[in-house]
Amino acid sequence: MVLNISAGIRSLQSRLFLLSCLLCAAGDETVTLQEVEGTTITLHTGITGIQTDAQILWFYGPEKAEEKILFSQVFKGETVTEISERFKERLQLDRISGALTIRNISRNHSGVYLLQVIAGRVSSRTFSVSVYAPVSTPVIKRESRSVVSTEPCSLLCSMENGEDVTLSWYRENERISITNNTDLSVPLNLSLQIQHHDVNTNTYICVSANPVSNKSSSLNITQLCDHLSGQTDGSRSLLPALISAGGFVLLIISVTLWILLKNKEQQVSKKPEVTYADVNTKAHSVERVKKEENSRITQVEAETDPVVYADVKR
């Protein structure tokens, strides 16, 4: 009879304990966390000074925290902590506050986490954790080609889909369109049409985002919408050929000028040497003058009658 009473008391205590846990969990405010996979997070409880003999339990579940992933208590003066295989080598417990650190968290660890601290009474905390992969960088490409400048430029921004991922077009700082898809197997695509008057007036950016990350790609209108900027595919493809031809012509001109200069130098070096002798013009002039004077004297003497001088005696 006594045994039955004792068993009944223990059963009643267990039921009261479970009821108190459920009431704590029901009245507890849930803390929501959004994290990037591969990082380390800590679930801070806000509790301080947990009794050393208290039992600390953490539960986890994708939707409801039903799986016990950690149990810690002090037994005969030693702390004994048990961790489930799912979270082996990932969990670290702070027994003073009950905070739980999860290392290298993955998307498979998204879900509900419940803390229970049992020390005479039960204290609990609930966390909703969502883990996301970083978004991929969006890629902008042209949907169709046109050479008519009056036609709009049709562009397509694409990216790999993911959980809670959105894809948006921004003009300057204003979002002008957005899309998402719950079917994660289908890539996200978002179209944009650029008019001729927008070429030099607006900046367009395609942005992929989820709750924990975002990446963007800027639109190069000159490159993708060349028919609006006045540059066609033909002119752009001919540009390298024209540059090569121009370089070849310059090379031919340079070689020709070098050959002409070389030939001119050789012709100058082959001219006969001219030896110049000094002429003593002064000596020849004096001699010529003397000859002319002697000739005149001789002529005068010939024309003059001879004079005979006779001795006079006294």
What are 187-210's pLDDT values in tens digits? 999 999 988 766 666 789 999 999
Distance CA 103, CA 91 (A): 7
In this structure, the answer to whether residues 203 and 156 fall within a common structural domain is yes
In this structure, the answer to whether residues 165 and 98 fall within a common structural domain is no
Distance CA 211, CA 204 (A): 22
Q: Express each pLDDT in 262-294 by its tens digit.
A: 787 777 666 555 555 454 544 455 566 566 666
Domain final residue pick, 194, 225, 256:
225
The domain total for the chain is 2
For residue 155, what is the domain's CATH number? 2.60.40.10
Nearest to 206, CA basis, from 223, 189, 219, 194: 219
Residue 58 covered by a domain:
yes
Domain final residue pick, 225, 244, 275:
225
In this structure, the answer to whether residues 36 and 120 fall within a common structural domain is yes
CB 262 within 8 A of CB 254: no
pLDDT band at residue 95 using 50, 70 and 90 as cut-offs: very high
Range of the domain at 205: 139-225
β-pairing verdict for 121-132 and 30-36: parallel
Distance CA 38, CA 33 (A): 15
pLDDT at 5 over 50: no
Residue 178 covered by a domain:
yes
**Per-residue tokens: 308:** 């005979």
**DSSP assignment string, 154-187:** EEEEEE---TT-EEEEEETTEEEEEE--S-TTSP
pLDDT band at residue 134 using 50, 70 and 90 as cut-offs: very high
In this structure, the answer to whether residues 90 and 61 fall within a common structural domain is yes
Entry pTM? 0.60
Residue 76 covered by a domain:
yes
pLDDT at 93 over 70: yes
**Bridge partners of residue 57, in order along the sequence:** 71, 116
CB 175 within 8 A of CB 169: yes
Residue 36 covered by a domain:
yes
Torsion sign across C-alpha atoms 76, 74, 90, 26: positive
More confident residue, 245 or 259: 259
* Amino acid letter, 154: S
Domain final residue pick, 175, 199, 225:
225
In this structure, the answer to whether residues 55 and 106 fall within a common structural domain is yes
In this structure, the answer to whether residues 157 and 174 fall within a common structural domain is yes
In this structure, the answer to whether residues 125 and 196 fall within a common structural domain is no
CB 93 within 8 A of CB 42: no
> 69 CB contacts (<8 Å, ≥6 apart)?
58, 59, 60, 83, 84, 86, 87, 91
Our CA dihedral for 262, 264, 267, 273, rounded to 10 degrees, sits at -110
pLDDT band at residue 233 using 50, 70 and 90 as cut-offs: very low
Q: Express each pLDDT in 136-192 by its tens digit.
A: 999 999 987 655 556 788 999 999 999 999 999 999 889 999 999 999 999 999 999
Residue 160 covered by a domain:
yes
In this structure, the answer to whether residues 188 and 119 fall within a common structural domain is no
In this structure, the answer to whether residues 121 and 159 fall within a common structural domain is no
More confident residue, 164 or 76: 164
CB 102 within 8 A of CB 113: no
In this structure, the answer to whether residues 100 and 155 fall within a common structural domain is no
In this structure, the answer to whether residues 123 and 176 fall within a common structural domain is no
In this structure, the answer to whether residues 143 and 101 fall within a common structural domain is no
Residue 15 covered by a domain:
no
Distance CA 189, CA 134 (A): 18
Residue 270 covered by a domain:
no
Residue 216 covered by a domain:
yes
